Structure 1
Amino acid sequence: MSLWLLGLAVTLVSGIAATAYLWLVRRPRDEMTYGLHALSGLRWREFSKLVLAAMAGRGLVEASPEPQESREPQSTFLLQRGDERWLLSCKHGSAYRIAAAPVHELAASIRLGAAQGGILATEGKVEKEGRDAAQGTNIELLDGPRLWPQVRHLIEPALREQIDQYASGRAKRHTGISWLGAVALGALAMAAWSSGHPASMDDVPAASPPASSARPSTPPPPTVTAPQATFREPTEEELEVQMRDVLKALSKTPGITRGVWQTKLTLSIDRVASEKDIWPWICLELERYPALRATRVQLNPPPGSSEPVRWRQCKTM
């Protein structure tokens, strides 16, 4: 086999395999992770409306809903589908770890309300104890991975587009890094093959008939080293530290009264100065961290001002 064909084959196979994994497996998982973080930043009423809309797609509608403006905070809803009655329990927050107790409570409410069954929905995770408790009951458990596909198409289009951009951006960055690694693997394969298999007679020029001395062998080509990627995706703990550092720096900026991370993708800024004066300082702090450069910034107008709320980004993906 030709040395260059071997290197090309190793590069293509490893690069294509890594690309397929990143786009077909990792990207949907990243999109779900970013999406669940965004859902955890919603108010309880907005989250419950999303879940109720998803249930309406199944034909389960809320029975005798109270007026929206008068409804008190609640986490349990009575749903109907024809003559069937179902109880929906919403546990809002990605930190929820559902064990057996919430499942037993829902089962008791189903028996008392003479309902057909129940649904427990959360952005968090259902532990093994919770799944075991639900066995033998007519209770459906919708934790993060099961809930996200049902509400993804119901969230705000702008937020859904931003989630898609973040997931695609990460997949693109890691695809580039994987192809650099594939080139390095191809070069290593060429070097290993060259050192273990001496050149064939077809590759060595024939000696002239009158020549009596053997020609010196040609040394193998040097190993090509792929450049190393300089960007590293921060861990969850590192990202939290970076977000706190941005808020700390902005709190000392004249004209900014408060900054709040609504989600890991959205930063809300309360200002008393003009947008022109404070925007360069906001971008200066966000662009210090590559993972926060494309943050969606909500600029709230000064108190008593008639200016509208503005949405801006320092960098796009």
Structure 2
Amino acid sequence: MEEKGYKELPSSRQPGDGGAEFLLVKGDERCLLGYKHGTAYRLGEANVRDFANAVQLQGATSGMLVTLGSAEGFARDLARRYGVDLTDGRSLWPQVEPFAAPQMVLAIREQAASEIRKGQRLGIFASVVLGLLVFAAGYAMQPGEPDAMVGTPASTPENTSPAATAAGTEGPANEAAGETSAASAGEPEAPVSRFTDQASRDAEGALRELEEVARLTEQQRIERRLAAAAEVGELDAAEHANWSTQSTLVIRMSRADGIDTGLVNEACAVLVQYEELRYTRLQLEPPAGTAGQVRWRQCQ
């Protein structure tokens, strides 16, 4: 956005539902930029309406709503009606690619190519399986013929060769040896990074963690969220913590100066251990019975 002449107003960054909002200026123009985290995020009509209201509340003359995920068709129609510029992951990448490290761009392209090849292999495999099923169905519908091999003994002691006997004797021993060898191999080694600079290594590690999160079941995700909230609730400056939305963790402070004692840093240190909770919005409520105000913070 700075390349386009925009500047961020000091202290304008505010946590949003599942992302963040920035107030930008360009001459006399005030633009509200809303960003939604995560490739799984889907912008709907409700997101557009809420953002259009935020544009008016901020006194902005225009608004841009950006996400790494996708936008629904009705959301795009509503955005055009409100004059909101909608950008999804497909159109966002060409704008941010020039600012990424070359090693990171190369890794992303290689991963994309790998996903394409994987899809092609699955397509070929599915075609082969379908062909075999059709062939088997056609063969099963043909009239049956007498089996020429009926009456021939399948196996007799005389027909058993010494090689077959040796193979049958050595089979269990070979299997046991294989199991022993596999057990002695130990734990798999950690993947070696192809990058030398720390920034690209960090990005590669974050990408790997996101891939692991994507493989979790819904129940596992819920358990991780509950575990994170329980750990935050056990902090000295917190009385308890619970989730009000998918992206907002409500923390009841145990004392009025909880924010000053580092509660935000301690809570975020817990949440960043879970990659899907890294950008959680914190709703910090004053101790029960006090007249303090609710404050908002966001982990980065």
Scaled by the length of structure 1, the TM-score of the pair is: 0.36
Relative CO higher for 1 or 2, CA cutoff 8 Å, sep ≥ 6?
1
Scaled by the length of structure 2, the TM-score of the pair is: 0.38
